[in-house]
Amino acid sequence: MTLYSRRKLLATSAAGGLIAAAAASGAAAETYSAAAMSDPGPRDGAEEAINPFEWQGLPTDHGNLGTLRHSFSQVHNRHTDAGWAREVTVRNFPISKNMAGVNMRLPTGAVRELHWHVPAEWAFVTYGQGRITAVDSGAQRFVADVKAGDLWFFPGGVPHSVQGLGPDGCEFVLVFNDGNFSEDSTFLITDWFNHTPKDVLAKNFGVPAATFDNTNRKDLWIFGAPLPGDLSADLAQSKQPFVPNAYAFPLGDQTPVFQSAGGAVRIADSENFPATTMAAALVEIAPGGMRELHWHPLSDEWQYYISGTAQMGIFHGEGRNNTVEFHPSDVGYVPQSIGHYVKNIGKDTLRFLEVFTSAKYADISLASWMNNVPHELVSAHLNIDVDTLRKMAQSKTPVVPV
């Protein structure tokens, strides 16, 4: 069966391009007749091209698992004069019940206002540099500069800020351990000041009420501010102790926990990043390589695709299996313990994030499982002789080579 690429679909006309593409390739649909594949319309060829597996699934696909893919490129972008943010939550991605995502851009000097929120915040920097600050419940402080490939984690309720540094600020993706959470649902310092009587503020801070005559700035959210000085100056400003476990972690600089000709996997969880209660993996797959058949027993999986083109197959049991295609800025979601694989079907290196609500990263490999029970038992299930089973992949191989 021929699958049509995004490029081919975008090039075909809405009047019957899918059939024309099949004829041009000489495939004429090995599984489906031309009549079965026809769609007189109306059609949206551009939308169909985003995930061709929706129109023509693999022969192994069956049933409807709902929408397993969404994209930051498809959602409303909230702009200010200083920067922007867009979000994917359970409201526009219903399967994403346990995690919500935000993509934010802070140019040089732009600040994500001092704020806090109920859920925890996990973040990965995809571009540039920024400075982050936080203070925990013990009045212990944290200030650090982060760069592309770094991540940070702020526990729920911990107040924090982010500012873009030179030369071109930063861009990052945030993940919250609550699918209902919205970037608009944060507690802003300016908002609290605006709704607190001046005499109360004066009493709280031990200064005259007139001190707050000009603090009625409403909902700054993202705004321009002077660039901070050298990091050492910010670190020396207060004599309060620092948080015992840093809230930032250089994930991209870590030695991969697994590396092969097919790619690499880097992991950040509570074992090497003590501050976090959310685990994550940065996965790189070479063209033709594949993230092996596996599942995650501790948490749902929230995915963010950074580069390349991916094909993911999801096995949900009850005879249901769907295939989905992903591109940069796409978000994927796999419920806890649901089997899946991710294959690089493009010409460039595939890079994506796996994020979990559990503090410890865990996955179970299909190949490893099969090798760790008696071969005769597996043979009885799959009708594959024992000698052949011994020659098959025997160990956990997170990224299968080309």
Annotated binding site for Mn(2+): 115, 117, 121, 160, 294, 296, 301, 340
Please provide the DSSP assignment of 92-154 as one string.
TSTT--S-EEEEEEE-TTEEEEEEE-SS-EEEEEEEEEEEEEEE-TTS-EEEEEEETT-EEEE
Contact by Cβ (8 Å): 131, 228? yes
Active site residues: 354
Q: Which helix (H) or strand (E) holds 265?
A: strand 263-268
Vertex 400: Cα angle to 371 and 269 (nearest 5): 85
SS3 annotation, 193-248 = HHCCCHHHHHHHHCCCHHHHCCCCCCCCCEEECCCCCCHHHHHHCCCCCECCCCCE
Q: Which amino acid is at 126?
A: T
- Buried/exposed 236-257: b ≥16 CB within 10 Å, e otherwise: eeeeeeeeeeebbbebeebebe
Locus of tokens 């029970």: 373
Q: Which residues are annotated as a binding site?
A: 115, 117, 121, 160, 294, 296, 301, 340
Our CA dihedral for 323, 350, 88, 267, rounded to 10 degrees, sits at: 110
